[in-house]
Chains A and B, each alone.
Chain A
């Protein structure tokens, strides 16, 4: 992510400035000359070039496992999954179906058949996705990799394992689908 890269640059530069200042107060011998004078100046020079030319640093994967910090919120205890405000219910509720006003029985059946076919294909795609390493594209060009576990019925949350973040590898995580734009994987 941009901010961590900037931070990394800033920290490196701070160290180099300190080294540069340290030299000035130190007695010079040849080895000291190399380490404390030449090298920091060279590194500062290189960093300036890199920053001005806009080269991107390769992101190093942080593989330290991070333990579960906070359990996700469970399902509603009193609704048994039938939430009248969920998009699924609103979609299926007859008064809001756009075709309900003008349709005959057969048109409804046709629509339902198409709906079932599309949904079945989608569920099979999700089945294919489980256990595979999936790349999630999120807002602000954030990309993370994780092992896909499951999604809920309305595709509002995605459960993943081994989510790779700059903080470390999160063993279990729940991604909100409003945060995710796309997920891709290889068959």
Chain B
């Protein structure tokens, strides 16, 4: 079908806009597009009504026949969507808070004999692992599982770490 044969570039055009999706059995679904899965062409819609709790609807790609844009979204709507569906990313700390947190994580790692260097906004551990802002256990990325798990547990056990919101 045409929708499933689209390219990621085509699908990306619809993200963050309010659309009306028509399915194979003539049903219509309206909502703001959060994403389109490139593997199955499934559309994820977030309901835009303010009155009720936000609800998410996933329409599988094989059933989609047509997608029409009703209203264009803005940066504000993007931010709102992200705060509902990506709660971890929404948190934004100021530069000083980030710096102080970076310092405290770096000191803690050094106390535990882990070779860490500061590289701008990120911390690099032994050239194998990177910790990006805001330096929580979930922000460690590495190709080596063993190093990843060791450093993650270290960062998690850092004394004085604030509880996640």
- Pick the contact of A177: B44, B53, B56, B60 (CB < 8 A): B60
Q: How many contacting A-B pairs (Cβ < 8 A)?
A: 99
Check A125 against B7 for contact (C-beta < 8 Å).
no
Check A114 against B8 for contact (C-beta < 8 Å).
yes
Interface-lining segment among B31-39, B108-116, B126-134, B155-163:
B31-39
Cβ contacts under 8 Å, B9 to chain A = 110-111, 114
8 CB < 8 A contacts A-B: A128-B85, A139-B25, A155-B42, A178-B62, A181-B23, A182-B27, A183-B58, A186-B56
Chain A interface residue count, Cβ-Cβ cutoff 8 angstroms: 34
B binding-site residues for A, Cβ under 8 Å: 7-9, 11-12, 15, 23-25, 27, 29, 34-40, 42, 44, 53-60, 62-63, 84-86
- Pick the contact of A122: B7, B12, B37 (CB < 8 A): B37
Cβ contacts under 8 Å, B29 to chain A = 182
Check A187 against B59 for contact (C-beta < 8 Å).
no
- Secondary structure dominating the interface of B: mixed
Cβ contacts under 8 Å, B11 to chain A = 118
- Pick the contact of B58: A119, A154, A182 (CB < 8 A): A182
Distance to closest chain B CB from A9 (angstroms): 26
Cβ contacts under 8 Å, B39 to chain A = 87-88, 91, 119, 153-155
Cβ contacts under 8 Å, A139 to chain B = 25
Distance to closest chain B CB from A102 (angstroms): 12
Interface string of A162-187 (1 = CB under 8 A from B): 00000000000000011011111111
Cβ contacts under 8 Å, A118 to chain B = 8, 11-12, 15, 35-38
